[in-house]
Each structure stands twice: as C-alpha cells, then as structure tokens.
Structure 1
Amino acid sequence: MPTGTAIRDVREQLFDAAERVLLRDGPSALTSRAVTAEAGCAKGVLHRHFADFDAFLADLVLDRVARIGHQADALRDAAGTGTVTGNLAGALTELFESVAVAIVALITSRDELRTRLRRTTPTGVPVLTEATAMIAAYLTAERELGRLAADADIDALAPTLIGAGHLLFADRESTAPDAAAVGRVVTTVVGDAVREQRA
C-alpha cells in the first residue's frame, strides 16, 4: 500500500489478516510481518495502533470474544423455538467453524498473550470461557421454559458441550464434522435432560 494512503478500519483490516494467517498457517506463523504482509500494509502500521505485537494479539482475542457475545444474544433469543438439540448443534457449529479453535491454539501457545488476557479473563481460557457462559445461559433459559429438566446440571452440561465441540472441530487438517456428527454429540450430552420439544 503506498505511503500516505489512508487505511479504513485499520484495526479490523489487521484483525482479519491475522485471522487468515492463523487459519491458513497456524499460530506459529502469526508474526507482525505476516499480518502486515497479509493486510497489504507497512509493518509500521501495526505498531502505530498497538503498543507491541502481544497487545495486538490480546485485542484480536478480545474482539473475537465480543463476537461470541453477539452469538450468545441470538442463541438466548432462540430459547423456546426449534429444538434444544438443534439449537445447541447450530451454536456449536457456528462457534467452532469460525476462528475460535485457532484462537484457542494461539492463546495456549503464547505465554505473554495468556498473561495479558488474565487481566480480563482471570480463570479459564478466553473464548472457551465465554462460549461456556453462552451455552449455560441458553440452557438456563430452556430450563425455565420447561424444555430442559428442572434438575438439569447446567454447570456440568455447558462445559461438557464446549469441550466436546472443541474436540470435534480441533483438527484443522481434516474435514469439519458434519451436522449429524455434531447432533450426535449434543444428543449424547443433553439427551436425558431434554423434555418434549415444542415448535
């Protein structure tokens, strides 16, 4: 990009570039040079907007965590519609077909990034922690509507669903699991707690 040319939404452009590198080449390939080359801008652009590369990565993770908040709102609004297992399978697929799996790998591979993220997520792994909260809120809403057993252990079901979903989608080299595979996992985890489905 020529010097002096304004970059619109530079943060989002850099985040999107980082996401492409992360998905294509994995966390070890994610460097400031790789990000700026992918974004088509000078390396100095990144350093004008972020204190250092770990600050950039922390903001990338927090930006992607915020997207889970939007998904959580939509999933909570779906309570009482469709089927519980269908809604959960769709939510897990949407979550893990995105960059979430790669972001988790990035967090676990970089000590300084984890240290920075502890400021906002003192326990657990960012992305997985918020995803678990999303599923728990949805299950709570369904329990209140009577579509989940009154004694359903949401504190156990939500992390189990996130862990199982993460494992299903974790292999970047293989084909993503199909809807039937995701549905079987969801049914195995919550099937006993689900009550008669109402459209």
Structure 2
Amino acid sequence: MPTGVALRDVREQLFAAAERVLLRDGPYALTSRAVTTEAGVAKGVLHRYFTDFDAFLAELVLDRTAAIRLQEAALRETAGDGDIVDTLTRVLTDLFTSVAAAIVALVIARDELRARLRETTPVGVPMLIEATGMVAGYLAAEQDRGRIRVEADVNTLALTLIGSGHLISADRTGTRPGEAAVHKVVATVLAGVIRGR
C-alpha cells in the first residue's frame, strides 16, 4: 500500500477515535492513551505520526475546520432558494450538535493547543471563526440576490448567530437546544434584515 494512503488511514483512525472520546467523555478525558485505546492501536502509533499530543490535537482541529470551509461553498450555492431562517436554523443545529461544538470546548480547555493554533488562526477560536465566515458568506450571497437588505452588516449578523448558537449549545452534559429554540434565535437576529418579512 502506498505510504500516503496508509498515513491518511492511520490519521483518520486516530482522529475518529479522538472525536468519539471527546463526544463521550469531554475534553479533559482526551489523552493520547485514551485515543490510542479507542482506536485499538499501540500508544506509539500516535507518536510515530505526530511530534506530541498537542501536535495531534492541532492537526485534528485543522482537519475538521477544513471541512467547514468545504461546507461554505455548498451553503453559498443554496442562496436564493428556500427560507433563509430555516436554512440557517439547519446549519446552526447541525454545527452545534456535531463534533464541532466538542472541538470548540477542546480548544478552549487546552492552553497549549490554543497557542499552537495561533500560528494559523491568530485571533478567535478555530471552528467558530470558520463557521462565522461560512454564515457571513451565505448572508452576503443572499444580500447579492436582494433577499437581505443592502444596509445589513452580514459580518456582525454572522458573529451574532454563531455566538448565540454556541452559547445555547455549550453545555455538553445538558440538553441540547431543539430546532425550535435555534429557529427563534435565528429569526430574532435576522428580524428586520430579510426582505419581505
């Protein structure tokens, strides 16, 4: 098997294991031993591919934030179709019930990880920054189509939506907000900026 394929498979196996531990047990339970045990590999396997555990975690975060950038293009393509509030409700519900919310908690919990991520994301929290960009891009596309008022500040609206979504979803041990709660937040934030509402 080509080396690149094997490396990618091992990395994905370790990343998937880390996500399972993170979702099940939270950021403080995420250790190299927990990841390798979950992945069913020897502890040395992680250190064969990554200089240390924080390097592994940084790569995990960067890999998962890249996925949000891919979603951004797909979301922009939907501009002009469907109800804006419904679309953003789905986006925020999916975002904050996925591993993304757990990764944000991980970044906040680990000082060394945040320091490493500052090399690529000098301000803000990775995942939240990319998610904000995704929502701002979608709102700008809707603005270009005349469905969002031209005077609306789409960057501030996106920050407000992502910040609000994170706040109501941040407690991993509590009950996640339902779609109705997210819909209410989106509708409130966008009140007065959607044409025809």
TM-score when scaled to structure 2? 0.94
* Alignment deviations for residues 99-156 of structure 1 (CA, whole Å, 9 cap, x no partner): 1111111111111111110111011111101110001100000001010011011121
Alignment correspondent of 1:114: 114
Q: Following TM superposition, by how much is the alpha carbon of 1:175 offset from its aligned partner in structure 2, in angstroms?
A: 2.5
- How far off its partner does 1:8 sit? 7.4
Query: Deviations for 1:67-105, whole angstroms, at most 9, x for unmatched residues?
Result: 111221121111000011111111111111111111111
Aligned to 1:166: 166
Query: Paired residue for 1:187?
Result: 187
The Cα of 1:167 is off from its aligned counterpart by 1.3
The reply on whether 1:16 has 2:35 as its aligned counterpart is: no
Residues 37-186 of structure 1 aligned to structure 2 (within 5 Å): 37-186=37-186
Supply the distance in 1 between the matched residues of 2:51 and 2:8 (Cα, whole angstroms): 20
Counterpart residue number, 2:3: none
Amino acid at match of 1:134: M
Q: Which amino acid aligns with 1:133?
A: G
Q: Percent identity?
A: 64
Secondary structure at the counterpart of residue 147 of structure 2: coil
CA separation of 1:186 and 1:49: change in aligned 2, threshold 3 A? same
Counterpart code for 2:30: L
Residues 25-67 of structure 1: CA deviation (Å, up to 9, x unaligned): 1111000000000001100110111111010000000011011
Secondary structure of the 1:9 match is helix
Q: Read off the aligned partner of 2:11 and give its amino acid letter.
A: R
More moved, 54-63 vs 99-108: 99-108
Range 123-132 or range 165-174, more displaced: 165-174
Counterpart-to-counterpart distance in 2, 1:61 and 1:143: 31
Q: Which runs of 5+ in 1 are unaligned?
A: 1-5
Provide the TM-score with structure 1 as the length reference: 0.93
Q: Distance in 1 between matches of 2:185 and 2:71?
A: 20
